[in-house]
Amino acid sequence: MPSTTGFTLWLTGMHGTGKSTIAAYIAARLRQVGRQVETLDEGEIGQDLWQGLGDSKEERSTIVRRVGYVAQLLARNNVAVLVPCVSPYKSVREENRRIIGRYVEVYVDCPTETLIERDSTGKYKKALSGEIPNFIGITEPYEPPTSPEVTIHSDTESVEDGAAKIFQALLDLGYMTSEELKIITGKKMKANPQPKKARRVEPKADKPGKGTKSRPATRAARVAKPTSAKKGAKRK
């Protein structure tokens, strides 16, 4: 009997990285084991969910929130929801993570130069020439995830390789069973135990009436202390 745990697999990345292709592959494999699956592809549902909205940051954020709301409704009713969506802003993706709960973020990464070279739609070239304003990755920034559950480098990894990473993450998180994945992949997969949260140890209070020596800052305090300069993030 197939597992009935609903979840949302959110695939984020710039235009043309292969999010929809990977989502279609995963959806077909999930249906092999009797899962209820829905794909919310921004390229297909746009006319229904955000007709009339434009390309400003606020409007894009509204679009991602609407998709997240639909995904949350489906996931809580035991549906495996796949969302290939550029969703360029980190803060809005994190909002969806909190709202949805059973949320797996997949970052589909690819160098911009490669995306321009293999672009069959011509959108990148039009954006570079100024024909398409507010284009993510060219005239508007894309904010990559800080700690996604899965990262796929679609310029060097095949769809199958990327899917294997996703299935492993779903197994590790308890959203799929090893029996289901044996049917899908043809091999027995083992879950990797999730790291336990570190136990917090409170510092001992100094005894009254006695002189105390200054203590070095704890590791947590050193990490939390702001630094005067940070290295700039690599441009994607």
Whole-number Å distance between alpha carbons of 133 and 13: 19
Catalytic residues: 87
Q: Which of 59, 96, 52, 90 is nearest to 74 (CA)?
A: 96
The pLDDT tens digits of the residues spanning 32-48 come to 999 999 999 987 776 66
Question: What is this structure's pTM?
Answer: 0.78
Percentage of the chain exceeding pLDDT 90 = 62
Q: Which of 107, 87, 75, 89 is nearest to 43 (CA)?
A: 87
Sketch out the chain's domains with CATH numbers: 7-185 (3.40.50.300)
Whole-number Å distance between alpha carbons of 34 and 11: 22
Angstrom CA distances, 107 to 34, 191, 232, stand at 26, 21, 20
CB 85 within 8 A of CB 40: yes
CB 125 within 8 A of CB 119: yes
pLDDT tens string, the chain, 236 residues long: the values are 456 689 999 999 999 999 999 999 999 999 999 999 999 998 777 666 666 666 778 888 988 999 999 999 999 999 999 999 999 999 999 999 999 999 999 999 999 999 999 998 899 999 999 998 889 999 899 999 999 999 999 999 999 999 999 999 999 999 999 999 999 988 888 888 665 443 433 344 444 444 434 333 333 333 334 444 444 444 44
